[in-house]
Every structure is written in C-alpha cells, then in structure tokens.
Chain A
Amino acid sequence: MELHIALQKNFGSFTLDVDSTLHGNRIGLFGPSGSGKSTLVSLIAGLQQAESGRILLDGDLLYDTNRRINVSPDKRRIGIIFQRPHLFPHLNVKNNLLYGFKRSTAGNRTIDFDTLADVLRISHLLDRGVNNLSGGEKQRVAIGRAVLSNPRLLLMDEPLSGLDDTLRFQIISYLKSACEIFAIPYFFISHSILEMRLMTDQVLSIEQGRIIEETTPEHLSRIHMGLNPAGYVNLLKLASSYQLEDMRVYLWGNAELFISGKNDQPDSLFELSSKDIILFKRHPEAISARNLLQCVVTGIFESGGKVGIELGCGDERLVAEVVHQVVGELDIVVGSTVFAAIKASAFRRLG
C-alpha cells in the first residue's frame, strides 16, 4: 500500500498540517489525545475535508483541492474500525456484517463470508440482534463488517481503547489474523506504545497536528522509556513447559524462565517492565528472585534521564533500565557480561 497525504486543516487555534508518503501494510499513527489523529482518519476516509491538500492511495487520487477532486467516502474503499463498534442497532449480526459487502462491487469481492466468520468466531451469532452481544463480540462483528466491505485500506481508530485488558489482547489477535489472512493493509491509530508494537511495523508520531517523526515501534518504545511510568515493556512470547510447584517454567531461547501462577495455554505473551530487572556485575550467591540470567550487554541508550541497557541472552533481547550512576559503577559497556535478576512475579501475562 502506498498512501500519500499532504493536508492542512484549521480548527480555531489548532492546525493539522501533514505531508507524508507511507509505504507498507502495517502502519501506525501514534500520538497523545488531541494531537489530530482522529481528524486525520476522517480526512483520509473522506468524512471531513481539508482546506487544502491531496490524498493519493495506490496511485488513485482521492482528494485534491487544486484539481477540485473529492471522492466521496462510499467510493474510496477505505474501511474504518472505530473506537466503539457502532453496529447498526436495527439490523441483526448477519445484516450488519453484510451491509458493506452488499455495497461493494462484485469485482472487488475477495473476502469469503464463512471464512471470516470462522476467523472472528462469530458464526454462531449471525441471527442474533446486536444489542445483546458482549463488548468483545460487538467489536468482532464490527471488524467483520469493515473487512467484508472489501476495503483496500482499513483505518483502525483506537479500536482497542474501549476494551479491558483481557479483551484487548484477544481482539488484537482477531484484528491481526483477519488482516493477515485477507491481506488488507491497515493504518492503526493509538496512543498506546504497546499496541503499536503488537500491531505495526512502522510508526508515524504525531503531535499538535504535525507528524514529528517516522520510526519503528521498537525505537518509539525506547525513546519513551524514561518518561513512561511502566518503563520499557519487554514482550516475551513464551512456550509453556512444565509446572514447578506454584510456578510455571517457560522456554525462552536457551534459558528457562520461572513465572508465578498456573497456565494451561501452550503459548503465552508476557510483558516485563524494564524497571523490574536488577543487574549484577558478578553472580550473586543467593537471591530471592527466581530468575538469574547471564547476559551480554548489546546496546546502551539514553531516554528521558534514564539509561536503557540492551541485554543479549543467546538470540533473545531484553531491555533493563538503570540510572546514570549505575553505568559507571558497574562499568557497563557494550560487550560486558552482567547478571539480570527477575522476580517470578514480575511477569504479567497479556494473552
């Protein structure tokens, strides 16, 4: 997907002014509330008009003030998944799903209804009214409805922010699999770095109506480490191995990780804050933390007054966060060996 946007729009004292060309299929738009993210979504979809500028999607001119072109939203083939599901209350699940499908041109129809219903696990809901679905079911139907309209681009405008944590990670996997299976490029809007890392390959940062940088989700989370109360969030996809009393043992690269609690899922995603890793210069004799990993420092970076230490454990990477003093005292340089201690209870399972 190639999307070129050069747009200007004023709202009183706020000005949205962007000029970017995006290549890729999993692009994120990251910024705080009020930075102009949702406005940009509306402009791209054609629900609002910019005062000046142009929008070009895969070579098709959708909007150009100079040439007075403004393709109406129903002709743009750009779907939106909103923050809330916004299902049509007067239609049942099946008719909600088919609303966009029926209006798409036969030649553009690539999505198979039954396959999608299976992917989103909504096949059993088809005859139900939408008002008595659970929050997660509603959002899944909304995803299905947008995907079935056979869009060439999906705009996801904070589709997870109305959901609690458990639901959030479930919906992420549905979003990802639906877009992957049917090869739909998307533009994912959020103020959550974690969501950016799970959903996107590249990120545009927007602040006060301007795109300030184009970066990777990994880099974004590193530069926000020092200011973020949760620090840098290490994401670990772990394969469960066996139970050891009240801990579960997981395989992580060549090492084993001991994590509190039970879990019967074969694969799980865990988060671990950079603040929950303690570094030792030499092997400590006896400690209460259940995980002690021998690592090599593979990188050092600065973020918001803190220092991030990238640790290599075999092929795996972890980021630990320390204050400046420590770097000198422990004599940490790239290539030095340190021991990282992590409590079994420091890991949080995401889904």
Chain B
Amino acid sequence: MTTPLLELKDLQVAYGGIQAVKGIDLSVDQGELVCLIGANGAGKTTTLKGITGLQPIKSGKIHYAGEDITGKPAFQLVRKGLSMVPEGRGVFGALTIEENLAMGAYARDDRAAIKDDVERVFGLFPRLKERRKQTAGTLSGGEQQMLAMGRALMSRPKLLLLDEPSMGLAPLMVQKVFETVMAVSKEGVTILLIEQNAKLALEVSSRGYVMESGEITLQGKAKQLLSDPKVRAAYLGEAA
C-alpha cells in the first residue's frame, strides 16, 4: 500500500476554549476526491484550519506527501502544493480579479506559465474573464466562489482543500461549483472537500467521512455512505 498524500493521526484542535476536534484519523490518497461531511459546528472547518496552520493544534500529527507538516505556517504549505479555499471564499474584495489570481500564484516565479494558467482559469470560468479588471468585491457570491477556486488553482496545487464551496449559493451556482470540483479532480488534483450539502458531496466523492461533534463517526466508500440508513436519516433528510 502506498502512503496517502494527506494523513491526519489523532488530530486534536481546540477552538475558542472548546475542543472542537477530538482526535480524528483521516487520510486522502493521491488523486482521490474525499469529502468530510457533518452538521454545522461538527468541527470540519477547524480540522481544515488545523491542517493549514491557521488554528494551532493541540496534539496529533499531520503528514503531507511523506513529510511531517504539523504546526507549519500556512504560507510555507502553498509552496509544497497544498492549497486551500477558505470558508466564505476569502477573496480580496478591493483587488481586481486579475490581481486576485496573481495572488494565487504568489509563491510561483515562472511568469510565462502563470500567464497560461490565468487563461486556463478564464477558460474554466468565462465570467471572470469578462470582469477581469473589476474589483472582486463587485462580484456575486457564486462568482466570488469561482474566483476563490480559480485563485487556488493558480498555485498548481497537488492537494486542494475546499471549505464549504456551496455555502450561501443559489442552486444553479451550487451545481456549477460541483461540476468544477469534478473537473478539477479529473485533472489529477487530489481534493478534500468539506460540505454541509452531504448528498451532493457524496455523489461526487469516492470516499467520505462523517463528522459529529469533533469525532469521525462513520467512514467508507461514498456510495455506501449514501445508502447508509444513519446517514440518510441524519444528513439526507429522510425518515429512518
């Protein structure tokens, strides 16, 4: 068995005085699309913040690409190919769309290839190309999500962490976002997807983890989870 691209071992993270993540194990293999689902406040976002060093972790280990990255600050991780789209998108509202994309490539210095990648992102999201000189603050929520994903792709990530990409979006936009997630995954980017929209997340993923008040309560193949009566009852809104 090959070592996974990302592996969390007994990760514990405290957030605002409460233990939000109570020792979880999770792994993502090269090329996989894995989702982490759970209700609001289950500790999903805190898990991601722990991985990227945005939230100091209490104990446990994080391995990425065979390297111990526990406690490494976020700005060093991008250079290793680990990129994250934060919750609430986090676009730079006062910067133009082009500048936002340039920020995504901040850690790179291959100018010619960066130009190509900007065009690639514009190919993926033609809407952004039309508005390239506009500030990101003038975009709609869906467009900002596209920009945030485009910006993350600008770093040519090996592993992409997505935090609730569908949050607050209109159904049509949610569809578009998930199509993009699948397209990016097909290009060979490994993805760890965090979602409250369990049904859609499990439909696009190969494997899934279910998180409940800081612990992983279920895991397995996405198809099996989709048909698991407990998951159906708790997250897919069906009677048990």
A-B interaction = no
B residues near A (Cβ < 8 Å) are: none
